[in-house]
A and B are shown apart, each in its own frame.
Chain A
Amino acid sequence: MNGKIRNILATCVAIAMLALPLAAWAQPKVSISIKAEKEVTVTANGKQVKKKVTAKNFQPGEEIIYTVSYNNTGNEAAKDVKITDPIPAGTAYIPGSASEVGELTFSIDNGKNYKKATLLTYEMKSADGKMQKKAATPEEYTDISWVIPSIAAGEKGSVHFRVKVK
C-alpha cells in the first residue's frame, strides 16, 4: 500500500466519523430550566420599583415566582412540547398567575387529567373606593401544563406562574 491510498482511507474514516454526529444532530433538543424568584421593592432614583430576584428562602405567606425557560438547541423543530409541573407541596397556586402560552391547562387529580382553567374575573370596590380586579379560580389545582405545538430549532421562551407559601 502506498502513502496516497493510506491518505484517502484516512480521509474516508474522518468523513465517516464526522457524519455520525451529524446524523445525531438531526433532531430537536429542548432543554429546560426553572428558577424561583421573589418580588422585592427597591428604591431607584427616588422611586419605588418592584424587582424580581432569585431567592432560596421564603417566609410563609410570600409568593414564589417560578419561571420555566425552554430552549430548542437542536437542529429540528420540536413538536407537541408539553411542559408539566406539579404545584409544590406546602404552596397554593395563585389564580390567574400562569402564563398564557400555548395551551394552558390544569389538573385537579395529580396529573391524570388536564382541563382548561375556569377562571372568573370580577371587580370589587376596595377600601379606598377604587375598583379592584379580582380573579377567582379553584385552588384544588395539583398540576399545571403548557402544550406548545411546535418550537422551532434555536427558539427560546419561558413560562411562569406564582404560588404562595402556605
Chain B
Amino acid sequence: MNSKIRNFNKQQNQSKEKKMNITPSRFPFRKTMLTALALSALLATGTERADAAPLNQAAANATILNRITVTYKDTANASYSQTASATVTVLLQKAALNVTTLSDLTVNAGSAALYQYYSLTSTANGTDNYQITPTFSAASNLSAQTLDYAVYRYNGTAMAATNTGTQITTATGTNTLSNVAIGSTIGIAWDGTSKISVPFGSLNGITTNTLLMINGKGPFVVTGTSTGTAPANPGAETTPATITIAAFAGLTGVSAGPALTTLSSSDIVGQTIAERVYLQVTVNGTITASGTGTGNGTIIDTIGTKDSAGTSPSTNLTNTTTFKGTQLTISKKVANCTSTGASCGTYAATATALPGEILQYQVTVQNLGAGDASVVSIGDAIPNYTSMVAVGTTTLLAADTDNFATINANNIQVGGTGTAGVGYGKLTYGANPRSQAGNAFNFYLGTGSAVGTGGTLTGGGSVYTIIYRVKVN
C-alpha cells in the first residue's frame, strides 16, 4: 500500500469518527461503561462500528488490494522477506433512485402544454440501469391528453434529451423507459478546491458535463476526469481516478448549484458522488367544458422508477397537473330613472316604464375562472321601442362625439373610443339616426383591447361594468 492510499484510509476513518459522535446518545450505557473502565478517549469511539457503518462507502468496481509481507531470519541472523497479495473487487450495491420535484410550471388556458421537472439522483455506489414509468391516472374536464417524457442531461451548453419515452395518449396510460444509465461512485479524497479522487476503475459513468450531487449538495458540473493508473503488475498499487468539478451556473428550469467552497473533505470521503439527471414531463390536454366551477381541467400522473433489481423509492411522486379554465359570466340589469333621468331606481332583471321615461342598463362581465380569457367582446343593440340617449342625460344621441356608454366609468363615444387596459366601444348606425332602436353597438374589453379587437380578461374574477341608457318611445 503506498502512502497516498494510506492517507485516504486515514481520512476515511476520521470522517467515520465524526459520524459516530452520535453513538453515545444512542447507547448511553456504553459510554458509562467505557468511562467506568477508565479507557482512553481513543477507545471511547470504539463500538461495533463495523455493524453500524453505513453501506456504500466503497465504490463499485474499486479494487481492494491486500498486500502482505513476511520477514524472517535464519540462524546466522540473515534477513529474508517475501510478499503476497490478494485483490477483490467491490460490486454494485443497487439502490432506488432519489426522485424530487424541481418545479411545476403552469401555463394558461387552452391546449398549451404544461411541464413538470424532476431530478433523478443515484443512491447506489456505481452505475446502474433504471426504469422510468410515468402513469396517467384520473383526468377531469379534459380531453385529448398526451404525456411525453424524456431524460435530459447537461451537454455543456444546454439540457439535451438523451432518453425519450413513448407518448402516452390515453387518460389512464402507462409507458416504461428502460435502461436509463445513471452513474455514481464514492469519493476517497478532496483536494480542497475542485478535484475529487475516486478509486481506480470507479469513474462509473461520470464524464465531462455530468451533473453531480455530492453528499446531497449540488448540482456541480464535471469539467474533466482522469482514469488514474492501472496496477503495473498484479498486486501492485493503483493511482486513483480523479473528477474535477465546477459550480453549475444553471439553466432555464434548472436552478444553479452552490459554490465549490460549500464542499469539504467530509462531503467527499466515503460519500456518494452521484450523477443527477433530469426528467421532463410534458402534459397536453384540451379543456372539455368551460363555465363549470373554476373551469379547470386536471390530470394526475405518477412517476415510477426502479433500479435494475426492481427496487423503487418508498413512494413514487404523484402530481396533479391543472389546465387553468375560464368561466366568463355576463349579466344585464335595468333600472328606471324616471322621465327626468335624475335618479335611478334599483337595478333588476326587469323594469316597467312609461313612454318618455329613461331606462338605464348595466351589463357586468366577469372572469371567474383561473385562466385568462382572451378576445373578449360584447355585441348589443338599442332595444325596440326605445331611443338611445347620451350617458347621464335625457338627450338623444346626435353627434359621433356624444358618449353613448361607459365601461368602468370611462366614457365611450358613438364614433368609437375607449381607455387602454379597460375597454373600447363603438355604435354603428349606418343611414339611421344615431339613437334609433336596433342600431348595434359593440364593446371590446380587457388588456390589449382596441376598437374592433377584444382584449384579455385575466383569471380570478376581474369585473367590467358597462352602463348605457335609453328613452322609451
Interface residues of A (CB under 8 A from B): 27-36, 55-61, 64, 66, 68, 70, 74, 76-95, 110, 118, 120, 122, 134-140, 142, 151, 164-166
The answer to whether residues A138 and B86 also contact, given A85-B68, A90-B199 and a CB cut-off of 8 A, is: no
- What's the dominant secondary structure at chain A's contact region? strand
- 8 Å CB contact of B69 from A33, A84, A87: A84
Whether B433 is near chain A, meaning CB under 8 Å from some CB there, is no
- 8 Å CB contact of B74 from A36, A78, A93, A120: A78
Assembly CA distance A150 to B222 (angstroms): 55
Assembly CA distance A12 to B9 (angstroms): 60
Asked whether B85 lies within 8 Å of A34 as measured between CB atoms, the reply is yes
Asked whether B9 lies within 8 Å of A87 as measured between CB atoms, the reply is yes
Asked whether A81 lies within 8 Å of B43 as measured between CB atoms, the reply is no
Across the A-B interface, how many residue pairs have beta carbons closer than 8 Å? 183
Assembly CA distance A64 to B88 (angstroms): 9
Asked whether A35 lies within 8 Å of B50 as measured between CB atoms, the reply is no
Q: B residues within 8 A CB of A95? A: 46, 48, 50
Asked whether B68 lies within 8 Å of A56 as measured between CB atoms, the reply is no
Q: B residues within 8 A CB of A79? A: 72-75, 77
The closest CB in chain A to the CB of B12 belongs to A166
Asked whether A138 lies within 8 Å of B12 as measured between CB atoms, the reply is no
Beyond contacts A32-B83, A78-B73, A137-B43: 18 other A-B pairs, Cβ-Cβ < 8 A, are A27-B78, A30-B82, A34-B66, A60-B93, A64-B88, A66-B86, A68-B68, A79-B72, A80-B73, A84-B70, A85-B69, A86-B6, A86-B67, A90-B9, A92-B49, A136-B43, A142-B6, A166-B12
The answer to whether residues A89 and B72 also contact, given A28-B80, A135-B48, A139-B49 and a CB cut-off of 8 A, is: no
Determine how close the nearest CB of chain B comes to the CB of A138; give it in whole angstroms. 5
Determine how close the nearest CB of chain B comes to the CB of A142; give it in whole angstroms. 6
Whether B431 is near chain A, meaning CB under 8 Å from some CB there, is no
The closest CB in chain B to the CB of A30 belongs to B72
Determine how close the nearest CB of chain A comes to the CB of B5; give it in whole angstroms. 5
The answer to whether residues A89 and B12 also contact, given A58-B90, A166-B53 and a CB cut-off of 8 A, is: yes
Q: B residues within 8 A CB of A58? A: 64, 88-91
Asked whether B48 lies within 8 Å of A60 as measured between CB atoms, the reply is no
Determine how close the nearest CB of chain A comes to the CB of B181; give it in whole angstroms. 20
Assembly CA distance A118 to B34 (angstroms): 12
Q: A residues within 8 A CB of B125? A: 60
Q: B residues within 8 A CB of A89? A: 1, 5-6, 8-9, 12, 64-65, 188, 199
Asked whether A28 lies within 8 Å of B74 as measured between CB atoms, the reply is yes
Whether B401 is near chain A, meaning CB under 8 Å from some CB there, is no
- 8 Å CB contact of B68 from A77, A83, A165: A83
The answer to whether residues A120 and B6 also contact, given A81-B72, A85-B66 and a CB cut-off of 8 A, is: no
7 contacts between A and B (CB under 8 A): A83-B69, A88-B65, A92-B16, A118-B43, A120-B46, A165-B64, A166-B12
Assembly CA distance A135 to B48 (angstroms): 7
The closest CB in chain B to the CB of A78 belongs to B72
Q: B residues within 8 A CB of A86? A: 1, 6, 66-67
Determine how close the nearest CB of chain B comes to the CB of A160; give it in whole angstroms. 11
Asked whether A35 lies within 8 Å of B86 as measured between CB atoms, the reply is yes
The closest CB in chain A to the CB of B188 belongs to A89
Asked whether B72 lies within 8 Å of A88 as measured between CB atoms, the reply is no
Determine how close the nearest CB of chain A comes to the CB of B128; give it in whole angstroms. 13
- 8 Å CB contact of A90 from B39, B64, B78: B64
The answer to whether residues A166 and B93 also contact, given A78-B73, A138-B46 and a CB cut-off of 8 A, is: no
Assembly CA distance A55 to B88 (angstroms): 7
Determine how close the nearest CB of chain A comes to the CB of B173; give it in whole angstroms. 37
